[in-house]
Structure 1
């Protein structure tokens, strides 16, 4: 188990033009944004190329776009910021960005069509290789919550089975590794992977494939609606997802990256965003093996841009004109407090056993979702002052597994009143 302080970063949303800034790339504007991010004391950013702009044809990966990505990474290095790159965008803030060679007249399944997957692999390999010699390059994330394309509620999904989804993930992570050997390459899903029965991307995929487990914690998924903005389940949702993810990990101390978490209005009103931010981060850091926390997002979306869901406009730690918001000041203070000191949360000795059916495909994940029996039992235990871990029911009597994780007591949801 690591005693090093966790990483603190932000998902970089450009203050000018949002992610459309790739169309009119302005390195000076990027530098100004990165200055404001570095001013918060953060140590890394997560960056989002738009896939159709970088690979507009299956056999054309635009050299100029790749060069601009490298320029952004170099500008980050000058400000002490490391860079993780999400390749397949994919999906951002309710908008889909898919190249024309996968849609309409060229409609092909993005997870199973051999030509599409080959093109994706070459794209990810190319981006990784372009950054492989940069010391501040953390590694690649395959894409942003790309699991949302695999089934409902997406309006035009690319269906895939869990087996094929696992094959797709491994193929594309291998391509990242070929491009930049030895870096931290991973994949990241939105919470359907943990909460939605029958979803093709599974907890086992998340916790067993890639260098670290990524979780994206958003309380607009029913958590804040049921429990309120100061409810235990709301303020501990990120910590819950971290602990839930560990149940499926094959290594007892596999790192977990809280790669996306934010304070969505109106469920978290702007005047309470700082309070929610502090509680969420503090509770997440009470979990062992946290690689880092990466807040969503750096800068607000400009009101000049139309058709975003209302909550998306105000999620930044900084305003659209780079002024620090109260949540940004909270993050900066937390970074100062945590950085440089020994970080070793106490082991969670009491575990709650989760049963989602088959451990590989987890057909009964709804129990883990807000309102589900397991979710609510975990929240009740936490509200009573316990610090529960999570263990698969199939391992609840495995003394070697429990000992490796420091677990001395196992409860089941029906034990929690």
Structure 2
């Protein structure tokens, strides 16, 4: 069980990659380690690492390596994102995939090959650093698909599969031999949005670990209230939902992002939210780790961020530990390493959840009946899991998951 932070540098936020202030990086990472965390997730910016499709910035790669090495000096392992991608409402796309050189990053063969080349180059740069733990393909790249995003890229589920596997392929064998992990991540549209081309099987069957990003500004806090059980249990719910789609019964779920957004939480409620959310996550089995968003507040000197983005840190912009940071520190200190039992009962989800015509995902969303049923049971003390119908038909597969009772999907819908 790992505890860490998504590292947001105090010096110039992620724009620090233009000209890193290494003294500031040392201070930031030492502060993260001081509260008992064991890892950081790092976010080099795609346009800086690969300004041209066939030009990889080796000075940029060296800067990433140096940051990973500094993290190691403070006992922190590092997971590095590659395709940035989307961060805190800003998009970072190199010029060779937009405007006059418009390319679909998911389907254009040259664009896909360029991204795969960057994955390989970054892995090559970091391969011999002992505290380098793995690569994450990019942050919530699924946002670039569909009408919700200005780029309006399109891809079929099959093309998404090809994109993910093409980017992982250059380093997959080496990572497996070296015990490093390869992951990708999406926002919760992958679990909740019908007809989205990124679907739960992509999240749960490609890569080494299933990642979830749990944010309660998705309607949970608005519908149920900032101090509701539904709000506190959202990450717990997503953790269990994500397990349903894995073929491997022992596949881990990484709560890769969870934060306390002030735009929907009541003032002063952030501390309680953090305490309760972490406690609920620790009631789940097969959790790889919890990585808080984020380490440090975004500097007040930077413009055009949503206001709450300046308030998400465990430390403020001056490196002072906040109340929410103390809560997370205390939760880490009190963790006893106990692995909870797996749920013995599970809601059965139809296998056609991946169909573009299915409405299964929306029924599992915070506005759906399945979400309501699971929450009602959890509040009553019945912690349910989830399982796909194909698994539910196989008694041996159920036994491997510790499931002895199946709740029909229709019962949850009612």
TM-score bin, normalised by smaller chain: over 0.9
Partner of 2:369: 373
Query: Equivalent of 1:221, from 218, 223, 240?
Result: 218
Q: CA deviation at 1:188?
A: 0.6
Q: CA deviation at 1:360?
A: 6.5
Partner of 2:96: 101
Counterpart mapping for 1:284-303 below 5 A:
284-303=281-300
Partner of 1:177: 172
The answer as to 2:11 corresponding to 1:19 is no
For these two proteins, the number of residue pairs brought into alignment is 410
Given that 1:277 and 1:327 are in contact with CA atoms closer than 8 Å, whether structure 2 keeps it comes out as yes
Superposed CA RMSD: 1.5
Write the distance in 1 (CA, Å) between the matches of 2:333 and 2:251.
26
C-alpha deviations, 1:246-279, integer Å up to 9, x for none? Answer: 1000011101100000000132234121111111
Write the distance in 2 (CA, Å) between the matches of 1:345 and 1:399.
22
Partner of 1:405: 401
Given that 2:201 and 2:245 are in contact with CA atoms closer than 8 Å, whether structure 1 keeps it comes out as yes
Partner of 2:192: 195
Counterpart mapping for 1:55-134 below 5 A:
55-134=50-129
C-alpha deviations, 1:319-367, integer Å up to 9, x for none? Answer: 00000011110111111111xx342102211111223635576832111
Partner of 1:3: none
**DSSP 3-state at the match of 1:271:** coil
Q: CA deviation at 1:285?
A: 1.2
Write the distance in 1 (CA, Å) between the matches of 2:188 and 2:172.
26
Write the distance in 1 (CA, Å) between the matches of 2:208 and 2:346.
25
Change (3 A) 1:83 1:389: same
Change (3 A) 1:402 1:356: closer
Partner of 2:262: 265
Write the distance in 2 (CA, Å) between the matches of 1:362 and 1:186.
27
The answer as to 2:153 corresponding to 1:158 is yes
Change (3 A) 1:406 1:361: farther
Q: Which moved more, 1:246-255 or 1:389-398?
A: 389-398
C-alpha deviations, 1:105-137, integer Å up to 9, x for none? Answer: 000100011111111001111111111111111
Write the distance in 1 (CA, Å) between the matches of 2:354 and 2:144.
23
Q: Which moved more, 1:360-369 or 1:49-58?
A: 360-369
Partner of 2:387: 391
The answer as to 2:239 corresponding to 1:242 is yes
Q: CA deviation at 1:238?
A: 0.5
Write the distance in 1 (CA, Å) between the matches of 2:261 and 2:90.
17
Structure 1 residue runs of 5 or longer lacking an equivalent are 1-5
Q: Which moved more, 1:189-198 or 1:152-161?
A: 152-161
Q: Which moved more, 1:7-16 or 1:145-154?
A: 145-154
**DSSP 3-state at the match of 1:163:** helix
Structure 2 residue runs of 5 or longer lacking an equivalent are none
Change (3 A) 1:41 1:358: closer
The answer as to 2:119 corresponding to 1:142 is no
Given that 2:351 and 2:390 are in contact with CA atoms closer than 8 Å, whether structure 1 keeps it comes out as no
Q: CA deviation at 1:180?
A: 4.7
C-alpha deviations, 1:164-185, integer Å up to 9, x for none? Answer: 1011101111124367553101
Write the distance in 1 (CA, Å) between the matches of 2:262 and 2:132.
33
Write the distance in 2 (CA, Å) between the matches of 1:25 and 1:179.
30
Write the distance in 1 (CA, Å) between the matches of 2:160 and 2:30.
39
Q: Which moved more, 1:18-27 or 1:397-406?
A: 397-406
Given that 1:351 and 1:407 are in contact with CA atoms closer than 8 Å, whether structure 2 keeps it comes out as yes
Given that 2:78 and 2:134 are in contact with CA atoms closer than 8 Å, whether structure 1 keeps it comes out as yes
The answer as to 2:211 corresponding to 1:207 is no
Write the distance in 1 (CA, Å) between the matches of 2:47 and 2:173.
22
Given that 2:199 and 2:354 are in contact with CA atoms closer than 8 Å, whether structure 1 keeps it comes out as no
Given that 1:125 and 1:179 are in contact with CA atoms closer than 8 Å, whether structure 2 keeps it comes out as no
C-alpha deviations, 1:185-244, integer Å up to 9, x for none? Answer: 111111100000110111001000001000000010011111111222211110111100
Given that 2:217 and 2:263 are in contact with CA atoms closer than 8 Å, whether structure 1 keeps it comes out as no
Change (3 A) 1:198 1:371: same
Write the distance in 2 (CA, Å) between the matches of 1:360 and 1:172.
24
TM (norm. structure 1) is 0.95
Given that 1:129 and 1:179 are in contact with CA atoms closer than 8 Å, whether structure 2 keeps it comes out as no
